Structure 1
Amino acid sequence: MHHTPGSTGHTTGLSRRRLLRHTGLAAVAAVAVSAAGCSGLGTGGPQLVCRHQRSEEIYAQIPLEPGMLLTHSWLHSIELSRWSDTYRCEADGLTLIRTELEAYGAGMPMDEGEVRIEDGRVIITEIDRPFEAVRWIHSHEVDYRIGIDGDESLIDAADLPHREPLELRPL
């Protein structure tokens, strides 16, 4: 066991197989992702947009600056613990760089990124998997949160439509 610089908690580096045995927890759900491109909305450059997947109604848009971080998190429906995915915004899409969750189990990739346990949470970094959009069915019952560079007030998930297919994507 070792401590990560700047960390106040315990950090343990584990292989995925050891992590699965260590946590002994049930299956976990993942965010569905899909494709789109970055082209700007025609006024003022590229935007990070939260919109309806079918109607394309826009609920929020934020000026896109390459390198800004998008965090999409929710309470897992089975474990009732927070799951957070962090994406780096780039001119050509989003790159998943970090996932943080309480349990690691079935459905999780076995060959992606660096895995460690920190303060009882599973942290996966160095994922670097590109996505052009993040898609999900929005629910007010799972406490969704959307953060831009740590600011969760820019897109208020409570104001988004309940039980509707939404997406976050650069345009």
Structure 2
Amino acid sequence: MGLGIAVPTSMSGPAPRRLVIRQQEPGDRVYRSVPIDSDDEVAMTWMHSVDKTPWWEYYRADGDELVLDCTELSLMGAGTPFEAPQTELDGDMIRLCGLDERFPAVRWIHSHRVHHRIYFNGELLLPTRAIGHHVRAEMILIGD
């Protein structure tokens, strides 16, 4: 008699995904594509076009959605979240967390004037000049 070893034919768990930064349709240019897990952090930052102050948004992956967890900004005004489960003041920055806003994609008009950048787990993933000025861009999760 032999000793049998059971080997699973498939792995269960979440399907592998990639964070893709690309030109919005009808364009087909991909600027960055990296594997992403639910514990990875994606940060998008830019300078407010009027106030010239920094704005940061922090996302995580959940299924096929990007979830906005936190926003950091210097000034509050029109278009800023004003109710968040957690709010803290750090120097001249206000951090609003627990927002839990879900997006199938994050879309923007890329601008060199406001210095759009994207960080992945604290490392610069997409510098401002990686995308042309005024290109319609999007950040989306795609299964491998």
TM-score by length of 1: 0.69
Aligned position for 1:78: 50
1:49, 1:61 within 8 Å by CA — same for their partners in 2? yes
1:48-77 deviations in whole A, cap 9, x for unaligned? 000111213211101122221100000101
Specify the code of the residue in structure 1 equivalent to 2:102.
P
Code of the aligned partner of 1:84: W
- Bigger CA radius of gyration: 2
The RMSD of aligned alpha carbons is: 1.6
Distance 1:70 1:166 in 2: 16
Q: Which residue of 1 aligns with 2:117?
A: 145
Q: Residue 126 of structure 1 aligns with which residue? A: 98
Unaligned stretches of 5+ residues in structure 1: 1-39
Question: CA contact under 8 A between 2:110 and 2:134: conserved in structure 1?
Answer: yes
| Bigger helix fraction | 1
**Aligned equivalents of 2:94 and 2:135: distance in 1?**
29
For residue 49 of structure 1, what is the aligned residue in structure 2? 20
Q: Distance in 2 between matches of 1:155 and 1:110?
A: 29
Higher share of residues assigned strand:
2
Percent same amino acid among aligned pairs? 31
Kindly report which structure 2 residues correspond to 1:1-171, keeping only aligned pairs within 5 A, or say none.
45-54=16-25, 55-152=27-124, 154-171=125-142
| Structure 1 range deviating more: 103-112 or 137-146 | 103-112
Q: Supply the distance in 2 between the matched residues of 1:116 and 1:61 (Cα, whole angstroms).
A: 33
Distance 1:159 1:106 in 2: 29
